[in-house]
Amino acid sequence: MKKKIIRITTVPISLAVLLKGQLKYMSEHYEVIGVSSKDKFLKVVENQEGIKTHGINMTRSISPLKDLKAAFILYKYLKKEKPSIVHTHTPKAGTLGMLAALFAGVPHRLHTIAGLPLLEATGAKRKLLNFVEKITYSCATLILPNSFAMRDIILKEKFCSTKKLKVIANGSSNGIDVDHYKVDNVSTKEKNDLIKKFSIKAQDTVFIFIGRIVKDKGINELITAFNEISKTNDNVKLIIVGP
């Protein structure tokens, strides 16, 4: 009988995109269940990765009552499923998932750090987020920063000790599928259509941002920097791609 791993993210698009292919691969060796907020992407994950999923609503923002409710529902679900490993990703899923897994008696509790939005916060909010981050790490048995730079930040902020940290290989949450980025994957017509759509000239330098269009991704700094470049160069364009 395969041992059970439950992977938890705040929103299911993280399971579908951030961990694409990983869940399918791991299901060859473990029974893998994906847990995230109820959303159409849960079905995408099931079809794409060939695993079971379960919906438990979690909010990205700070919401004490909703967070307590979600943590309790997670706890009851983990008690029922009795996984060997709970592995969380994204800040809110990390806090709720690690707390629930600790109280549910899950022996191996892993949390991957792919970013720290709290670094953008200041004042009382920063102190609160730092406190919550320390709770997450204290509930985990292993913390997996996705880079050595992230590991250094965690140690500098004193979120946990060195012995609880591990960077897998040279970093990254899921490696890079280089075939995905082959130029041949995009037809000449598609390329020409995009060039025409965005009025890109041969002499243009094009900058591309890919990610959620939110403050903590540095979008405001990006726009400010691009505006400065635009003042002295007419042949530059910025394409922003993401929800």
Residue type, 87: H
pLDDT above 90 (res 136): yes
* Count of other CB atoms within 10 angstroms of residue 93: 26
Instruction: Return the beta strands (E) in the chain as ranges.
Output: 4-8, 31-36, 52-55, 85-88, 108-113, 142-145, 205-210, 236-241
* Count of other CB atoms within 10 angstroms of residue 88: 28
The helix or strand, by DSSP H or E, that contains position 75, with its residue range, turns out to be: helix 64-81
- Which tokens is 88 given? 């969380």
Residue 115's pLDDT band (cuts 50, 70, 90) = confident
pLDDT above 90 (res 102): yes
Residues contacting residue 114 through CB under 8 Å, at least 6 positions apart? 18, 89, 90, 146, 150, 173
Residue 175's pLDDT band (cuts 50, 70, 90) = confident
Cα distance between the two ends of the chain? 41
Give Cα separations from 208 to 14, 173, 222, 242 (angstroms).
21, 22, 10, 11
Q: CA nearest 14: which of 94, 106, 123, 96?
A: 94
Q: CA nearest 96: which of 73, 126, 119, 127?
A: 73
Mean pLDDT to the nearest integer, 98-113? 97
Determine phi and psi for 53, rounding to 5 degrees.
-130, 160
Residue 221's pLDDT band (cuts 50, 70, 90) = very high
Residue 117's pLDDT band (cuts 50, 70, 90) = confident
pLDDT above 90 (res 214): no
User: For 64-80, what is each residue's pLDDT tens digit?
Assistant: 899 999 999 999 999 99
Mean pLDDT to the nearest integer, 176-184? 88
- Which tokens is 238 given? 């910025």
User: For 6-56, what is each residue's pLDDT tens digit?
Assistant: 999 999 999 998 899 999 999 999 999 999 999 888 999 999 999 999 999
pLDDT above 90 (res 212): no
Average pLDDT of the chain is 93
Mean pLDDT to the nearest integer, 190-198? 94
* CATH class of the domain comprising 4-164: alpha beta
The pTM score is 0.85
Residues contacting residue 239 through CB under 8 Å, at least 6 positions apart? 198, 206, 207, 208, 209
Mean pLDDT to the nearest integer, 162-175? 92
Determine phi and psi for 204, rounding to 5 degrees.
-75, 145
Q: CA nearest 110: which of 92, 84, 76?
A: 84
Q: Where are the domains of the chain?
A: 4-164, 186-241
Res 118: pLDDT: 84
